[in-house]
Structure 1
Amino acid sequence: MSTVLAWATLTVWTGLALCHSWFWRTDQRLPKLIPPDSWPSVAIVVPARDEADLLPDTLPTLLRQRYPGDARVILVDDGSSDGTAEVARSLTVPHGLPLTVTSPGEPPDGWTGKLWAVAHGVREAGDADLLLLTDADIAHDPDSLETLVAASSDRDMVSQMAVLRTETFWERLIVPAFVYFFAMLYPFRRVNSARWRTAAAAGGCVLVRRETLERAGGIAAIRGALIDDVALARAVAGAGGRIWLGYASKVRSVRPYPRLADLWQMVARSAYTQLRHSPLLLAGTVVGMIAVFLAPPAFALTGAWPAAAAWVVMAATFVPVARYYRQPLVAGLLLPFTAALYTLMTLDSARRRAGWKGRTY
């Protein structure tokens, strides 16, 4: 029986490597840039809750954007208690983009705080042609906005997976795997192809056409979503919009996750929501993680070479993400251990209420 199961693990990983839309590759980058004849107006909406420590590293990068058209930055203070709004106002840049700092007050019933803040920022944006929705912990290269707009000529929404911080041991272990698992769940090639119905986005950097967003029902259409980036992508795609998702080179997150507990909280706060709070889906996920990621090394240690080969294939599919994050190419051999941690985080997510920065949902 163990031999049969060992062969099964090799079959699974061969199928994932060759037949799952090349999910493991990192070549989905911004499409060919086509500068428009006239540059559309853009409003950059930044929801921020208790981000006073990070804003000095991120907000000026938005204010210094070199954009040929009209652009402005709207920072929406989502009920912060650390002086976020005051810090934001102090960061204005000479000859930079205009900055508006505003606050919508507490969210009504049925709204998450972040999406209430985003909706307020979208209203403040007025009739801007494009909306760049970006988180307060995201820093942008000076030409990031120009590049995004030039790449969106024939798309209704363009989002990029920001380069996440990998400075501590736990960040180097957990963060690249987080991106790898996300791409396995939502293969970028499928998101970007009209032949598939897969819809996903990376919430740290989303450029969307205002008219398409309105046609999709606006932010109100996803007002209670905890995984708001994927919900927004589904809403835009459902309204006939063409979406695109890829890896970033000009967008990065500066938020630190120095301890395992910090990363655990990041994953556990929304993992069970991703499973639609379904015990059946939770059980299937746990069994799937064990069968796909833990079984190969377990059977390999008994001397079953097909399972060892499956472990090698698994590790090989991790190489592009490891290279993207400048990690050792053998890091994929630790995927079973990281997958075990993610499985425990998911189980922990099922026992707690979803929450973030003092709010629970």
Structure 2
Amino acid sequence: MLPQRWLAAIGASTAAGLLAIAVVNAATAPRARPGIGRRRPVSVCIPARNERHTLPSLIMDLQQQDTSHDFRVLILDDASTDGTGAAALEAIGSDPRFELRASEEEPPPGWVGKQWACQRLAEHAMARPGVLLFLDADVRLSPSAVDSAVLALESSSADLVSIWPFQAAGSLVEHLIQPLLAWSWLALVPVRLANENLRPSLSIACGQFMATSTDAYRAVGGHARIRGSLVDDLDLAREYRAKGRKTAVVLGGPAASCRMYCSARTLREGYGRWLGHAFGGRTSTTLVLAGIAATQMLPVLLVRARDPRTRALARGGYACLVASRLVAGQVEQGARLQCARIVSAVAHPAAAAGVIALVLDSRVRHRRGQATWRQRPLRLP
């Protein structure tokens, strides 16, 4: 067992490093910006399963895009059971740029539903060479978002660009957990370095909003290459890099936002779909969870230690953790600092404990065959 002072020192040095990287990214991380670039054919691909309450809002955002690109939207109603197709048709109205396809097919063996839907949409879209934009149905867009995505793809020299939406939150548990998504890379990896590197292990990606060319997508093999993946965005980026093609992440706020979950129940179900296998197998997952506990939780328990040096190290480390969360949140959203973000940052050790619980819950769900998403069972590849 390490002495308390050692634990506090490890935690403090780790937290200081996280804060330093977050500050560097605050100054250098690329951001989506308005602009047109070269006029190109753009096909927006939206897989939608049981998205009746979110898809119409995205359709309205797309109808309000201020763009001169040759722009069309392809939507696949993926065997929805909640009236998604009817809600989409009502929102589309007579807009000729939108095409809704309905499918009652279940994914073939070995395929996860989202990848199956994205592959079919892309195959239809690739009849017209140009840019593919993949959007989740719960993403919200500013009027310049499509132009910003195309410009980011052109200006980055990457073949696959993720436009990272601001992760919006409503409930208490969302405010606690959701900011960790951006913090997990803004405080761990210098983004510009990761974007210029071809190592798959340095991939940063977000499947909520992705841009690629039809040529690059076809050359890599598309979503068929990751048909059974539970972390489709990262695995797709890794496939691009394995083929020698650059990938990049660009901060999307305020051009795009996404509220992934609307309650503790849907948050648990959503993370139960993939989080337990985000770090690999049992051994690597155990090591990651041990690292989270050792650097994000245990040192904070020493803020009232008897030894003055231990106490000072623990308090300094805790302050750096809170500061790294605040910096990452400011970089992600780019808006005025809000009280909820401060409270969430102060509660960082509790959020770390929540992530550990969600990882373990996800692994148990998959082991018992209870993992689902949008009322569809999920199976490990």
TM-score normalised by structure 2 residue count: 0.86
- 1:177 maps onto 2:180 in alignment: yes
Structure 1 counterpart of 2:223: 219
Contact 1:59–1:139 under 8 Å retained in 2: no
Please list the CA deviations of residues 38-79 of structure 1 after superposition, one character each: whole Å capped at 9, or x if unmatched.
411111000000111212211221233222121110001111
- 1:15 maps onto 2:26 in alignment: no
How far apart, in 2, do the equivalents of 1:296 and 1:267 lie? Answer: 26
Structure 2 counterpart of 1:205: 209
- How many residues matched? 357
Q: Residues 149 and 91 of structure 1: is their aligned pair in 2 closer, same or farther, counting only changes over 3 Å?
A: same
Further displaced range: 318-327 or 44-53: 318-327
Contact 2:185–2:204 under 8 Å retained in 1: no
Give SS of 2:92's match: coil
- 1:192 maps onto 2:195 in alignment: yes
State the shift of 1:165 in Å.
2.2
Structure 2 counterpart of 1:242: 246
Q: Residues 65 and 35 of structure 1: is their aligned pair in 2 closer, same or farther, counting only changes over 3 Å?
A: closer
Give SS of 1:192's match: helix
Further displaced range: 167-176 or 22-31: 22-31
Amino acid at match of 1:139: R
Structure 2 counterpart of 1:151: 152
Please list the CA deviations of residues 176-216 of structure 1 after superposition, one character each: whole Å capped at 9, or x if unmatched.
12321254566533431237651121111001111111111
- 1:307 maps onto 2:314 in alignment: yes
How far apart, in 2, do the equivalents of 1:255 and 1:3 lie? Answer: 40
How far apart, in 2, do the equivalents of 1:225 and 1:188 lie? Answer: 24
Q: Residues 189 and 54 of structure 1: is their aligned pair in 2 closer, same or farther, counting only changes over 3 Å?
A: same
Amino acid at match of 1:261: R
1:252 to 249, 257, 271: 257
Structure 2 counterpart of 1:355: 372
Contact 1:26–1:247 under 8 Å retained in 2: no
Structure 1 counterpart of 2:338: 327
Please list the CA deviations of residues 308-349 of structure 1 after superposition, one character each: whole Å capped at 9, or x if unmatched.
111111111111234355433464221001101111111111
How far apart, in 2, do the equivalents of 1:336 and 1:189 lie? Answer: 28
Give SS of 1:17's match: helix
Amino acid at match of 1:289: I
Further displaced range: 98-107 or 346-355: 98-107
Please list the CA deviations of residues 53-108 of structure 1 after superposition, one character each: whole Å capped at 9, or x if unmatched.
21221122123322212111000111111121222122125567333334372211
How far apart, in 1, do the equivalents of 2:90 and 2:107 lie? Answer: 26
Structure 1 counterpart of 2:62: 62
Q: Residues 31 and 218 of structure 1: is their aligned pair in 2 closer, same or farther, counting only changes over 3 Å?
A: same
Q: Residues 251 and 176 of structure 1: is their aligned pair in 2 closer, same or farther, counting only changes over 3 Å?
A: same
Give SS of 1:312's match: helix
Amino acid at match of 1:114: K
State the shift of 1:254 in Å.
4.3
Q: Residues 91 and 128 of structure 1: is their aligned pair in 2 closer, same or farther, counting only changes over 3 Å?
A: farther
Higher helix share: 2
Contact 1:23–1:184 under 8 Å retained in 2: no
TM-score normalised by structure 1 residue count: 0.90
Give SS of 2:100's match: strand
Please list the CA deviations of residues 272-326 of structure 1 after superposition, one character each: whole Å capped at 9, or x if unmatched.
21122x2212221221111111122111121421111111111111112343554
Q: Residues 94 and 250 of structure 1: is their aligned pair in 2 closer, same or farther, counting only changes over 3 Å?
A: farther
State the shift of 1:5 in Å.
2.3
Q: Residues 104 and 245 of structure 1: is their aligned pair in 2 closer, same or farther, counting only changes over 3 Å?
A: farther
How far apart, in 2, do the equivalents of 1:117 and 1:95 lie? Answer: 23
Unaligned runs of 5+ in 1: none
Amino acid at match of 1:141: S
Give SS of 1:147's match: helix
Please list the CA deviations of residues 20-50 of structure 1 after superposition, one character each: whole Å capped at 9, or x if unmatched.
58576385243677743x4111110000001
Q: Residues 223 and 165 of structure 1: is their aligned pair in 2 closer, same or farther, counting only changes over 3 Å?
A: same
Amino acid at match of 1:75: I
Could you tell me the percent identity over the aligned residues? 24
How far apart, in 2, do the equivalents of 1:312 and 1:228 lie? Answer: 35
Unaligned runs of 5+ in 2: none
Q: Residues 195 and 52 of structure 1: is their aligned pair in 2 closer, same or farther, counting only changes over 3 Å?
A: closer
Q: Residues 281 and 26 of structure 1: is their aligned pair in 2 closer, same or farther, counting only changes over 3 Å?
A: farther
State the shift of 1:161 in Å.
1.6
Q: Residues 139 and 4 of structure 1: is their aligned pair in 2 closer, same or farther, counting only changes over 3 Å?
A: closer
Give SS of 2:69's match: coil
Structure 1 residues 52-91: aligned runs within 5 Å: 52-91=52-91
